[in-house]
Amino acid sequence: MVTQGDSSQEHERRHLLDVADLDWSALRQLLVSAESMQRLLDSTAGGSDDLRGVGVTTLFYEPSTRTRISFETAAAALGARVSTFNVATSSVGKGESLLDTVRTLEALRTAVIVLRHERAGAPWFAARHFGGSIINAGDGWHAHPTQALLDLSVLSRHLGDRDGSLVGRRIAIVGDLLHSRVVRSNLHTLTTAGADVLLTGPARLITGFAELAQSIRGARGGVRVVTSLDEALDDVDAVMALRIQRERLAAGELDSLEAYRSAWGLTAARLAALAPRALVLHPGPMNEGVEIDPDVADGPRSLVLEQVRAGIPMRMAVLHQVVRGARAHG
């Protein structure tokens, strides 16, 4: 359990756009809050009325299962008025812009928009034109703040020290880094929590990450890009496989899925070579038999479903924080 400690300084923020600007104290506050949200979910009441009457709308321009449903479950557990904006059947098909949609939702008394968009930066644009709170639920290849936060909560529960930090822990992230907003956000949260992160994958899918690793400064942990899976997995505490994002791959970026699996896939044979304590994560959705084998995904080291479950209390914590932040900012 993450203890509150002395530095329980309140972080009030009206939006959650990125995790790159969250320091350890801000991350810790969210970890602590997510734990109390979990206790609320486990209680007989199963939730609270804290966001009663608050309109929360999920506005997803890209597909999603876990993220959208867990935000909606989280908002409902706090008593919010939840709406799903269905982009496919909405006026977006008639050419309505993001700006018009955001203004319309505000007029319809939405206080929080949970936004997923294919364009990096879209949540910042929305935040400039919306009187309520914007939560970034994934923007292009850029960021996926709540995925990184829930991953941190799971890793911190299993590997964290008393205050939840990951100092001295080695975490490998393997696969299609190039197209992954998950890895870009996880780099910040994991290094801020003190972990040493090893990044690896096929050369064409790790382009630019050596430079990115250099730019992560001031964090307690470090980032290293390595070109061999064996080096990345040596003595790791946890490994996260990333999805091969077939919908974003350009010609020539991947030879074949079979070749990928044999060079980079988390197979039972590869797992057998890991330290016995090493844990396995995947943000989902998984291409089973490509980046991760089914028996590994369902195996005893796998935290995949725990990651999905952890999304609800963490998103409750985030919703709570932004609504409080909006109230504080008037």
What's the min distance (Å) between Cβ of 137 and ligand ASP? 8
In whole angstroms, give the CA distance from residue 80 to residue 203. 45
Does the protein bind ligand ASP through residue 243 (CB under 6 A)? yes
Instruction: Output the smallest distance, CB 207 to ligand ASP, in A.
Output: 18
Q: Pick the closer one to ligand ASP by CB: 18 or 163.
A: 18
Residue 283 contacts ligand ASP per CB under 6 A: yes
Please, which residue, 28 or 144, has the CB nearer to ligand ASP?
Answer: 144
Which residue lies nearer to ligand ASP by CB, 47 or 284? 284
Cβ proximity to ligand ASP: between 36 and 73 the closer is 73
Looking up tokens 């529960």, which residue turns up?
157
Q: How far apart are CA 83 and CA 248, in angstroms?
A: 29
Which single residue brings its beta carbon nearest to ligand ASP? 243
Find the binder of ligand ASP among 15, 144, 169, 320 (CB under 6 A). Answer: 144
- Among 172, 182, 240, 319, which residue interacts with ligand ASP (rule: CB under 6 A)? 182
Cα 154 to Cα 35: distance, rounded to the nearest angstrom: 11
Does residue 311 touch ligand ASP according to CB under 6 A? no
Q: What is d(CA 90, CA 68) in angstroms, rounded to the nearest whole number?
A: 17
Rg (CA), the chain: 19
Residue 133 phi/psi, 5-degree rounding, is -110, 140
Q: Which of residues 119-138 bind ligand ASP (CB under 6 A)?
A: 138
Which CB atom, from 32 or from 304, has the smaller least distance to ligand ASP?
304
CB 282, min distance to ligand ASP, A: 9
**Min CB(326)–ligand ASP separation in Å:** 25
User: Minimal CA–CA distance to 177: which of 217, 227, 129, 127?
Assistant: 227
User: Bridge-partner residues for 218, per DSSP?
Assistant: none
| Nearest to ligand ASP of 14, 243 (CB atom) | 243
Cβ proximity of 115 and 126 under 8 Å: yes
Does residue 157 bind ligand ASP (CB under 6 A)? no
* φ/ψ bin of 252: left (φ > 0), alpha (ψ from -120 to 50), beta (otherwise): left
CA atoms within a 13 Å half-sphere pointing along the CA-CB vector of 96:
17
State residue 40 phi and psi, 5-degree precision.
-65, -45
In the bound state with ligand ASP, the residue whose beta carbon lies nearer, of 183 and 326, is 183
Length of the chain: 330
Q: Does 181 bind ligand ASP (CB under 6 A)?
A: yes
Q: Where are the alpha helices (DSSP H) in the chain?
A: 24-42, 66-77, 98-107, 122-128, 145-159, 181-192, 209-215, 229-233, 257-264, 268-272, 294-297, 304-328
Q: How far is the CB of 144 from ligand ASP (least distance, A)?
A: 5
Q: Pattern 245-274, binding to ligand ASP, x per CB under 6 A? A: x-----------------------------
How near is the Cβ of 286 to ligand ASP at its closest, in Å? 9
Tell whether residue 160 is a contact of ligand ASP (CB under 6 A): no
Residues of this chain that bind ligand ASP (CB under 6 A): 138, 144, 147, 181-182, 243, 245, 283-284
